[in-house]
Structure 1
């Protein structure tokens, strides 16, 4: 799995909108806070709107706002919606599986499956609210704990 600039910028935009939840922000305000060009941000916000994460308001005081509560925005879902499967290899993907001629007896597939499961485990347990509150999951032994980090 590789998160493209589109995925990174979408998360940045969601964080800015989450910080101002309940308010409408102009695309220029979002651009200024995310350092993403207005042109590229328009494309990303349109996609986020189609996916139901944000809505827009027209007019002089128009712009974008978060459609869902911050605790309802699951980071794993956002990444999957924008980037596709979380698996690093198609042969280990659950949602976009592609067979490999070397798959039978492959000693790498269990590794790729573990990487996929670990990424999914963390992202699926992280919400926009968690990011806004600096509560990040981490793996402790065989368990996933959540801590508040200070930077």
Structure 2
């Protein structure tokens, strides 16, 4: 084997080693971003139609509500109090301090309570059924649906 060929092999191996190092670093960063900053969620059901469709993929910010409070109109991912492995996508319709209607009665929301509902009111199990959710049940804010072409049309008119 000539010195020139040996040098090329060593250089190629160094390049491959550096490339694998960069790929491993990018992989770790992607896992970190997915775990702590941004994740994906798939809509399961029709409770948010026409805004979000069954099977639609969503980008969800896990960091937004560490920096800011949830706001009226935000579309959020919420865990069900009875089973934290069950997630819902809903819109915030009541924030702490608001007075909302719950099962036909006025209900003041406490300092960490939110009232969440689906945009498809006739086909949504939401705070009108299970009551307000605590701030700790709000996992993140939907920042973009992958397939929504015309933007969020907002909640349906009442």
Q: TM-score, normalised by structure 1?
A: 0.20
Q: Which has the higher strand share?
A: 2
Select the structure that is richer in helix. Answer: 1
